[in-house]
Amino acid sequence: MTEAGSDFVDGVHVFPMRVYYEDTDAAGIVYYANYLKFAERARTEMLRALGTDQSRLSAEDGIAFAVRRCTADFLKPARLDDRLEVHTRVTEVGGASLSADQAVRGEVGELVRLGVRLACTNTSGRPARLPKALRASLRDLTEKNQRGR
């Protein structure tokens, strides 16, 4: 596990978190759909670490992200009070989209593997170009990812 407060390691964003009671089912195991929430929070914090927050994107640029595709492989369960990290690696940046691989990790290793494709849309739900500065920051991440591998 990385140190608290770390944002990026070799171009991969690391979001530390803990499993709360509200995240679990009656057996104290994280309910599968909550991993999607964890991944969403991590992507939001990755954008914030790049100097962009989604409320500003919406208010100033009139754009938002929508999940176009998501795959998930559930490998091991997380449990109440577990410390987790969500690792987000941007794999592709297009004019109006981006793809990322995400992994939820715990003390016992990788728990869930996700692949997401996001579309950038305007207020009408139509495709919209990523802001130039954000697109450049995301492309820089993909280059760091490739060098760090």
CATH of the domain at 128: 3.10.129.10
Domain assignment of residue 3, yes or no = no
Tell me if residue 25 is catalytic. Answer: yes
pLDDT 10s digit of each residue in the chain, 149 long? 554 555 898 899 999 999 999 999 999 999 999 999 999 999 999 999 999 999 999 999 999 999 999 999 999 999 999 999 999 999 999 999 999 999 999 999 999 999 999 999 999 999 999 999 999 999 998 888 777 66
User: 72, 83, 81: which is closest to 105 by C-alpha?
Assistant: 83
Domain assignment of residue 92, yes or no = yes
Domain assignment of residue 14, yes or no = yes
Domain assignment of residue 35, yes or no = yes
Domain assignment of residue 2, yes or no = no
8 Å CB contact between 91 and 145: yes
* pLDDT score at 148: 66
Domain assignment of residue 37, yes or no = yes
Domain assignment of residue 1, yes or no = no
Quote the domain boundaries for residue 61. 8-148
* pLDDT score at 149: 62
Write down the catalytic residue from 7, 10, 23, 25. 25
| CA max distance for the chain | 46
Looking at the structure of the chain, the number of domains it has is 1
User: 17, 145, 12, 29: which is closest to 88 by C-alpha?
Assistant: 12
3-class DSSP assignment, residue 149: coil
* pLDDT score at 1: 52
User: 52, 45, 71: which is closest to 120 by C-alpha?
Assistant: 52
Domain assignment of residue 106, yes or no = yes
* pLDDT score at 3: 47
3-class DSSP assignment, residue 20: coil
* pLDDT score at 102: 98
* pLDDT score at 10: 87
